[in-house]
Amino acid sequence: MIKVNSALQQDKIIELLNNLTEENIHFAYHKKEGISLLFETDADDLEKAAKIAKSAIKSQSWGSVLYFQVVSVSV
């Protein structure tokens, strides 16, 4: 599982990651906790999944100016 911390653009982050498949890694929105969005992933390497998610968000026009954090979460 990964956690995205962002106070803004949460709907866009959810839409982006739910539709993202990169290097056979998929993301599925799980739930919201305050400003944190939790996503399930089928990745074995959670750090790699977090880096892919962060890169995908930064590549968006709205993501390049967004203050956010992506971290892996052990369940």
Instruction: Identify the residue whose tokens are 């100016």.
Output: 65
Per the structure, the complete domain to which residue 23 belongs is given by 2-72
Cite the DSSP H helix spans in 19-58.
Answer: 46-58
- DSSP structure class, residue 34: T
**75 has pLDDT over 80:** no
State pLDDT tens for residues 36-46: 999 999 999 99
Predicted structure pTM score: 0.94
Q: Count structural domains, the chain.
A: 1
Q: Each residue of 3-46: pLDDT tens digit? A: 999 999 999 999 999 999 999 999 999 999 999 999 999 999 99
- How distant is the alpha carbon of residue 1 from its chain centre? 9
**pLDDT confidence of residue 68:** 98
- Position 74 scores a pLDDT of 86
Q: What is the CATH number of the domain that holds 50?
A: 3.30.70
Q: What are phi and psi of 39, to 5 degrees?
A: -125, 135
